[in-house]
Amino acid sequence: MKKLLSILMSLGLILILVGCSSQETATFTQKLGDVEGALVYTYDKEKDIVTKIKIETITPADDSDYREENKRLFETVKGMDGVVTSMTEKDGKLIVSLEIDLKKMKWSTIKKSDNLLLLHLAQSSYLIGEDDDASFARSKKAAEILGFTEQKK
């Protein structure tokens, strides 16, 4: 009986791992002067659909205008399902992060939004797609055109 249970648990674990195997992550970075940027895409490799995007900028911590602008923008998306923001300070750097789960907030919703932060994301070319989905291949090409470089693992 223990052997059968062990086999079933192993089989279940394998099925879970196989089911999640099409999820990939790609990171792109860019440095312009004293500002660093990163785009982290989580995507379904088989369907070429971005499922999550994280945009991070690192600036000098003494840039109070940038800090205040981001605080104001982050307040406008506070409580939105699928949107996570953060702002932290470390080693004299301000790290600002916006993460959007595109399973919860569809690309079509972002494109139609009148929210300034989401509207900027839609116009930034960090995500390119049709209808409800953003294409990773098209978004990757756009990021590279914008000067971001993919970080190989």
Q: Which residues contact 136 (CB under 8 A, 6 or more apart)?
A: 26, 41, 43, 44, 45, 48, 49, 50
For the whole prediction, is pTM greater than 0.85? no
28-79 pLDDT per residue, tens: 999 999 999 999 999 999 999 999 999 999 999 888 888 899 899 899 999 9
- Alpha helices of the chain — where are they, by DSSP H? 2-19, 64-77, 107-112, 116-123, 136-145
Q: Are 25 and 19 in contact (CB under 8 A)?
A: no
CA 139/CA 50 separation, integer angstroms: 9
The amino acid that residue 58 corresponds to is I
